[in-house]
């Protein structure tokens, strides 16, 4: 179940932006009550210092659910697809939360630089190694998370396996949300960026297999 820790969450500057707190407050009833959120391994997530937080991705709700699960310990700055910034209201929210736009399908060095800056400042950076939502398919891992780990070797890697999010909108049936934080198998110095990404994805999917939207009858 959720940790009862009362410690304040810590972002890159030690203070959570107002917009971030507001989003967590709005998401609370949906995630905690309607979604019956269960959180395991929260103590694995350090309260301070650079953290790379790779996660599986099956639903648009994943970033919100993971952020809510981690809220008592960390603010998560996540890499999100740049197209989301086309909506003025959403852009305002994402910028207020400190999220980082990334252009998919190309080597977005601006996004990589912003991510490295986040980690170098001691932030917690969320990233989906698969790049996009699975939509019920097994996707190949992308090397971005490995390149970040190589660029900021002092950053700790803590995985966040999330499940149940594809069922949030299946009213009147209530989903059962779960986020499991865990440390991955230690990497070796010879492990390439891509191999690290592949391994992290495999370890995440071992805990949270690919899910198809909706529930079986």
Contacts of 113 (CB under 8 A, 6+ apart): none
Q: What is the mean pLDDT of residues 203-216?
A: 84
Confidence of residue 158 (pLDDT cuts 50, 70, 90): very high
Q: What is the mean pLDDT of residues 130-137?
A: 89
The residues that bridge with 125 in the sheet, in sequence order, are: 52, 77
Place of tokens 């305002």: 92
**Three-state SS letters, the chain:** CCCCCCCCCECCCCCCCHHHHHHHHHHHHHHHHHCCCEEECHHHCCCCCCEEEEECCCCCCHHHHHHHHHCCCECEEEEEEHHHHHCHHHHHHHHHHCCEEECCCCCCHHHHHHHHHHHHCCCEEEECCCCCCCCCCCCCCCCHHHHHHHHCCCCEECEEEEECHHHCCCCCCCCCCEEEEECCCCCCCCCCHHHHHHHHHHHHHHHCCCCCCCCCC
Percent of the chain with pLDDT over 70: 90
The encoded tokens of residue 88 equal 């003025």
Q: What is the mean pLDDT of residues 207-214?
A: 86
Tell me if 65 sits within 8 A of 91, measured CB to CB. no
Confidence of residue 73 (pLDDT cuts 50, 70, 90): very high
Q: Which domains does the chain have, with CATH numbers?
A: 18-207 (3.40.1130.10)
Q: What is the pLDDT of residue 215?
A: 52
Q: What is the mean pLDDT of residues 33-47?
A: 97
Q: Say how far apart CA 96 and CA 16 lie, in whole Å.
A: 10
Per the rule left: phi > 0, alpha: psi between -120 and 50, beta: everything else, 144 is alpha
Distances from the Cα of 217 to the Cαs of 39, 170, 173, in angstroms? 26, 12, 11
Contacts of 147 (CB under 8 A, 6+ apart): 112, 193
Nearest by Cα to 126 from 151, 108, 105, 145:
145
Global pTM reads: 0.89
Among the residue ranges 8-12, 86-90, 162-166, 209-213, the one predicted with the least confidence is: 8-12
Among the residue ranges 104-118, 127-141, 194-208, the one predicted with the least confidence is: 104-118
Tell me if 68 sits within 8 A of 32, measured CB to CB. yes
């Amino acid at each position: 179940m959720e940790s009862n820790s009362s410690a304040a969450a810590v972002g890159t500057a030690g203070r959570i932006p107002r917009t971030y707190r507001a989003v967590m407050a709005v998401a609370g009833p949906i995630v905690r009550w309607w979604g019956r959120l269960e959180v395991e391994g929260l103590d694995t997530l350090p309260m301070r210092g650079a953290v790379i937080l790779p996660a599986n991705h099956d639903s648009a709700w994943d970033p919100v659910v993971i952020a809510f699960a981690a809220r008592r310990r960390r603010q998560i700055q996540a890499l999100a697809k740049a197209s989301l910034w086309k909506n003025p209201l959403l852009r305002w929210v994402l910028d207020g939360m400190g999220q980082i736009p990334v252009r998919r399908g190309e080597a977005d060095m601006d996004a990589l630089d912003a991510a490295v800056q986040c980690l170098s400042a001691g932030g917690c950076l969320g990233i989906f190694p698969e790049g996009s939502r699975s939509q019920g398919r097994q996707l190949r891992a992308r090397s971005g998370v490995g390149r970040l780990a190589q660029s900021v070797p002092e950053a700790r890697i803590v995985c966040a396996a999330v499940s149940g999010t594809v069922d949030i909108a299946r009213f009147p049936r209530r989903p059962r949300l779960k986020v499991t934080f865990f440390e991955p198998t230690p990497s070796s110095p010879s492990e390439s960026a891509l191999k690290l990404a592949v391994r992290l994805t495999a370890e995440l999917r071992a805990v949270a297999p690919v899910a198809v939207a909706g529930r079986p009858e």
